[in-house]
Amino acid sequence: MSDMNSKVPFSGSAAVETYLANGYDSVVGMSSRFAAAICARLLRLQTEEGVTGPIAEIGAFEGRFFIALAHALEPGEMALGIDIFSWPNPEVKDRFEANCLRHGIAPARRVTMKGDSGSMSPSDLTGHAGGEALRFIHIDGEHSRAALAKDLALATACLKDGGLIVLDDMLHPGYPTLMVAVQAYLDANPEIVPLCVIDRETIVGATKFVLCQKSWFERYQARMLDIFADFIWPLGADFEPHWCLVLSQDTRLADII
């Protein structure tokens, strides 16, 4: 691995580490391995804090990020993979299933949901998780303001106490209006705040925002300051007026002198 990749933080799971080292790059996708390691460790943090249960990914594609998340779960916890599974061709669903099998995520550990998340009700989603609220939802679906607003509403309605919502492709130059939907959502849902920003690895492996309930922010942040100490950009992110951590592989400050 390169010097940059060698700084990927320990995910908290041997299974995740093995997949990130030996399988992640073989699965077609556009997600950052740095972000996958961070999110896997956040799942472990949830477990340590007593937040357990199913997770979901909206926009599972061929399973690159989904598999990493699923490996971070505890025995008996389910991962829901949601996608329209029609792009770039209908065979993408078969590739998703095959990738999961090849990299150790058996059918008993996951649910494949073919459909449009924008038309799903909360009961549609949680129904596939045995009626249980979700502890972690990764949103990487249709990249429009309207679609993101719907996915955020769905995720919020399905989120359990202590749950996390992770938004992909934030601040991406190809999707500059997504931030408009995020700001509108945060203004309308003051009980939800940004927990951290996961900096981009490349223009393809773009920035993610991690959101949590305001009542959990201090509790999670206190742990994260220790867990991710080597990856904290000192100035943080100013969401006016909320402040949160920025996790990055490059924690330098600008040289202004």
Read off the pLDDT of residues 16-28 as tens digits, 9 standing for 90 and up.
Answer: 999 999 999 999 9
Q: Residue 121 falls within a domain, yes or no?
A: yes
Tell whether 229 is covered by a domain: yes
Give per-residue pLDDT as tens, 139-179: 999 999 999 999 999 999 999 999 999 999 999 999 999 99
Who contacts 8 (Cβ-Cβ below 8 Å, separation ≥6)? 20, 33, 34, 37, 249
The domain containing residue 160 runs over which residues? 28-247
Q: What is the pLDDT of residue 257?
A: 65
The mean pLDDT of 48-69, rounded to a whole number, is 98
Over residues 62-117, the pLDDT tens digits come to 999 999 999 999 999 999 999 999 999 999 999 999 999 999 999 999 999 999 99
* Summary count for the chain: helices (H), strands (E): 8, 9
CB 110 within 8 A of CB 79: yes
Question: Domain for residue 5, yes or no?
Answer: no
Q: Is 98 within the bounds of a domain?
A: yes
CATH number of the domain within which 182 lies: 3.40.50.150
Q: Give the CA distances from residue 177 to residues 138, 170, 256, in Å, rounded to whole numbers and listed in that order.
A: 19, 9, 31
pLDDT at 8: 67
Does the residue 101 lie in any domain? Answer: yes
- Assigned domain for 17 exists: no
Contacts of 174 (CB under 8 A, 6+ apart): 143
38 occurs within a structural domain: yes
User: How many structural domains does the chain have?
Assistant: 1
Residue 18 lies in a domain: no
Residue-level pLDDT at 255: 83
Give the whole-angstrom CA distance, residue 117 versus residue 81.
11
